[in-house]
């Protein structure tokens, strides 16, 4: 367990933590925010990122001998988006409900590239099922973006088109090669898998609120917060998954983690929109 914690913290994490503190506290100084609350908010963001990284390491350690690990992590890392969708539907705000899963579809592929760059595996990752990856990423991003230009009377057509495309891409996903030589587990998978998934889901759900708290008290520019901070940090589970998988030379698994995550985001949003249409 201690080794898992150490594995979840790397030089990149430490660098990002420093940048988080500098960003929020620097914004507070520049734009007249509350420095003390900004520092507390930055600390909360760092704690969330640490817990997410640890949860991801636990999940991948538990599943490392499982065939289809990329697909599984793609589903699991969407737990926070699912919770945000439910909250949005509960208050009757379909735009808010759908924005979290759909917004992640733009940042996920960017973070896959960053993870490959950090691991020095850009070429190997780019060569792995490039046609499928580009089709899925661009298609799911297009459907995600088009939703926000739809009128309510067009939602049903969007649901049908988005679900059809994403389902086709899911069933066309490539099979992951499974090594016959199994690795020894450092922890008991049966004991730790469920708690790790719960930890990831809960911490991921609260990440948006913690970042918003820090942003509010730092008076950081809303445009910068929305794109660079919220979009990046709320996709942190997918990013950590890609890092962990690429460090294990599982290129296809890392790609499927992102493509399946994007597909799942479409399904979540479509389910939310369908529920909204039935209940309104």
First and final C-alpha spacing in the chain: 48
The alpha carbon of residue 233 and the mean position of all alpha carbons in its chain are separated, in whole angstroms, by 8
How far apart are the C-alpha atoms of 198 and 32, rounded to whole Å? 38
Which residue, chain included where needed, has tokens 């597909």?
A: 263
How far apart are the C-alpha atoms of 167 and 210, rounded to whole Å? 34
| pLDDT digits 0-9 by tens, 132-190 | 999 999 999 999 999 989 998 999 999 999 999 999 999 999 988 655 455 565 667 77
Q: Give the angle 271-108-50 at the CA atoms, nearest 5°.
A: 100
| pLDDT digits 0-9 by tens, 238-279 | 888 898 889 888 899 999 999 999 999 999 999 999 998 888
5-14, 90-99, 248-257, range with greatest mean pLDDT: 248-257
Which residue, chain included where needed, has tokens 């509010």?
A: 216
pLDDT value for 186: 61
* Nearest in space to 79 (alpha carbons), one of 211, 162, 203: 203
Q: What is the pTM of this model?
A: 0.79
């Amino acid at each position: 367990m201690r080794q898992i914690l150490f594995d979840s913290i790397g030089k990149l994490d430490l660098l990002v933590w420093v940048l988080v503190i500098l960003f929020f506290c620097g914004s507070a100084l520049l734009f007249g925010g509350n420095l003390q609350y900004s520092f507390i908010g930055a600390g909360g963001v760092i704690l969330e990122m640490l817990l997410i990284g640890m949860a991801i390491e636990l999940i991948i350690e538990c599943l490392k001998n499982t065939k289809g690990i990329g697909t599984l992590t793609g589903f699991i890392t969407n737990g926070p988006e699912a919770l945000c969708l439910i909250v949005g539907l509960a208050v009757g705000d379909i735009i808010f409900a759908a924005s979290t899963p759909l917004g992640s579809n733009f940042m996920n592929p960017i973070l896959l590239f960053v993870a490959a760059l950090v691991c020095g595996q850009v070429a190997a990752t780019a060569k792995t099922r490039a046609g499928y990856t580009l089709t899925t990423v661009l298609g799911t991003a297009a459907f995600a973006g088009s939703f926000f230009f739809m009128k309510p009377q067009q939602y049903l057509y969007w649901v049908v088109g988005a679900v059809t495309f994403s389902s086709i891409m899911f069933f066309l996903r490539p099979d992951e090669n499974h090594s016959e030589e199994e690795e020894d587990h450092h922890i008991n998978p049966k004991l730790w898998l469920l708690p790790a998934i719960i930890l990831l889901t809960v911490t991921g759900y609260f990440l948006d609120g913690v970042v918003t708290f820090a942003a509010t008290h730092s008076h950081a520019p809303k445009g910068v917060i929305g794109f660079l901070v919220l979009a990046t940090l709320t996709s942190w589970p997918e990013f950590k998954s890609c890092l962990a998988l690429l460090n294990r030379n599982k290129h296809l698994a890392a790609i499927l983690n992102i493509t399946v995550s994007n597909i799942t985001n479409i399904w979540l949003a479509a389910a939310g929109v369908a529920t909204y249409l039935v209940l309104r």
